[in-house]
Amino acid sequence: MTAPADEAGDAAPARYRCAACGNLTRFDVVSVRRTRAFHHYSVGGELVVEEEQVLSETIEEVACRWCGSGSSVERLTAAASERAAD
């Protein structure tokens, strides 16, 4: 499944469903992100990443963790996501 992610800054991440086994909760997701972040180093050299902002994200692959299928995974619409959460 190759699909662009939602616009950068959207609050709700995508929800998925495996049509092969019905899984709604466990997926392996491979994505590419472009981010901007403030790197704060302590005097001792330890890094803390603060204020990370996702500028763009592309979902390259989604596979079902239960049955391993990648071709049967569907991205749910907002309405279907609400019904699945109930």
Mean pLDDT by groups of 10 residues along the chain of 86 residues:
46 87 96 96 96 95 95 85 62
75, 3 contact by CB (below 8 A): yes
pLDDT for the residue numbered 85: 62
pLDDT for the residue numbered 83: 66
pLDDT for the residue numbered 6: 46
Phi and psi (nearest 5°) for 84?
-70, -30
pLDDT for the residue numbered 3: 45
Question: pTM of the predicted model, to two decimals?
Answer: 0.66
pLDDT for the residue numbered 78: 73
